[in-house]
Structure 1
């Protein structure tokens, strides 16, 4: 017989997935600095995260292959882009790839980043290639 799980009524009906929020992230300086739209976008991105666990080990994941559009979040394009830039600048996500879709359309593939752990320390580093094209420095 399977393990019975009891859910609080304010949480869920128990028939959906979830995105874990660990307290070290929630209490971090980086998270505390985020605006509401950035948190919203991050949670939508986390909802697209999938992983396969075998014998208590992660064997596959899409952590480096997350695509999201402003339309997915209910935000306008400018608010969405501002949130993405803030998530990059605080070390939560990074740009991995641009996939052209014909004409000016493109899909940006994001990945989750762990630099948020080092926010406001000497170890904090945001590489230029992790930023959106329009925000990269001219070298």
Structure 2
């Protein structure tokens, strides 16, 4: 009959193997992203039906699969991304639809396909600061 210690050792070893094989990992750190999107240090003007969409796009090689992370800025320019994300480098898309639905008032300059804004997400303590006049 196996001893209690060898069963615990085997269980610990198996848990370690499962963690290594897991796509998400056992200790993957995810962070909440908050920040501010401005233009010339001012929030984008919003009507009651307007929307400023902020989307994080992982900066990965072309053809690699990825997930985007959307959020919405309020009238002060403050935004929070709804889902927690892995720290790393992200392209940041900004679309200003006012009224909603409508045409992007930024004319696609910062759309997911065109944005040149890149930010490094390090932790929850460092908010993203985006000024469209100085991307």
TM-score scaled by length of structure 1: 0.24
Structure with higher helix content: 1
Select the structure of larger CA radius of gyration.
Answer: 2
